[in-house]
Amino acid sequence: MPKPKPLPPTLQGRAFTTGEAAAHGVSKSRLRRSDLSTPVRGHHEPRTEPAPVDPDEQPWQKARRELLARARAEHLRLPTGAALSHLTAAAVHGFPLSMKRLASGTIHITTTSDAARRRHRGVKVHPLPRDERRVVVDDMWLTHPLDTWCALASMLPLDELVELGDHLVRRQEPDATLTQLREGVRRYGGRRGAKKLRAALELVRERTDSVRETRLRLALLRAGLPEPAVNIVVRDGDGRRIKLGDLVYAEAKVLVEYDGEQHRTDSDQYAKDARDLERAAEAGWLVIRVRKGDRDNRAIAARVRRALRSRGVPT
């Protein structure tokens, strides 16, 4: 078969609509050639070789990759002024969504277009509030991270909202400050989920490093224990820095540490953390280590309660 005829220069190297192709004199048969793909009806783009899949790819990574591919295809036909939103925007923004959320299979769009609200299966269309902000990430229009978090109050339970709020104000490269979260919640007032969103805001804490830390902190609070500080420096008796503690009861010198995924995959980090915890114990700290397989929150809380009581903290 002969090589496909080159496309007009203005259509090369990008996605384009069937209408654009017709306006440039491109025939329908040319659009069916093997060098073009049609990710969604009425849209065409250069066909590329799929990127190699990492053999160590985790199930949640695969689910996110597939969701982003569907989002990118759906973005091609967004009406003017619309944006990917809710769980779809959260995935593109890199929110730590659960496997259940990533595998939901629905693409969420926020728009003012009435025509777009009568769209096909697999797409959930939401009305666009007047004060909703849009940003561009990876060449896609998305709702702003703060507006995305607020909108998720209409579909997520309280603890997941807290986890995502903690992510926004995380210790490393945060997307927002608590002050900005408060302003976002204020702007969201009166909409579906606003009461839940206000409750989540009260539980959000800055300086977190992972969803597991947030879940552990919430479990301790729900057990009636005092709230630990998040990611603060643990020091020895001479004031020298030992490490950054996950959840810290500084006055009682009780340290709650979550052994995360890096302890399985990074032997150097594991060895360093083990040495640091030995130094903490030598300096008089009681260390409670919580591992990935520890799923009984009552048992974890009981361990922390015993440690606090041994230091004279009423629980």
What length does the chain have?
Answer: 315
Residues 253-282: pLDDT tens digits?
A: 999 999 866 555 678 888 888 899 999 999
- Mean pLDDT for 95-108 is 94
Closest among 16, 100, 109 to 70, alpha carbons compared: 109
Residues 180-209: pLDDT tens digits?
A: 999 999 999 999 999 999 999 999 999 999
Q: What is the DSSP string of 226-286?
A: PPPEEEEEEE-TTS-EEEEEEEEETTTTEEEEEE-THHHH-HHHHHHHHHHHHHHHHTT-E
Residues 46-68: pLDDT tens digits?
A: 887 766 778 888 989 999 999 99
Please give the pLDDT value at position 38.
Answer: 84
Please give the pLDDT value at position 1.
Answer: 65
> What are the residue ranges spanned by the domains of the chain?
9-46, 59-203, 211-310
Closest among 74, 178, 189 to 129, alpha carbons compared: 189
Cβ neighbors of 4 (< 8 A, separation 6 or more) are 30, 33, 34, 35, 36
Q: What is the DSSP string of 60-119?
A: HHHHHHHHHHHHHHHHTTPPTT-EE-HHHHHHHHT----HHHHTT-PEEEEES-TGGGG-
Q: How far is residue 216's CA from residue 93's CA, in Å, rounded to a whole number?
A: 24
pLDDT at 121 over 80: no
The count of other CB atoms within 10 Å of the CB of residue 5 is 10
How far is residue 131 from each of residues 113, 179, 186, measured CA to CA in Å?
16, 18, 12
Maximum Cα interatomic distance, the chain, rounded to a whole number of Å = 84
Please give the pLDDT value at position 39.
Answer: 80
Q: Is 267 helix (H, G, I), strand (E, B) or coil?
A: helix
Q: How far is residue 179's CA from residue 183's CA, in Å, rounded to a whole number?
A: 6
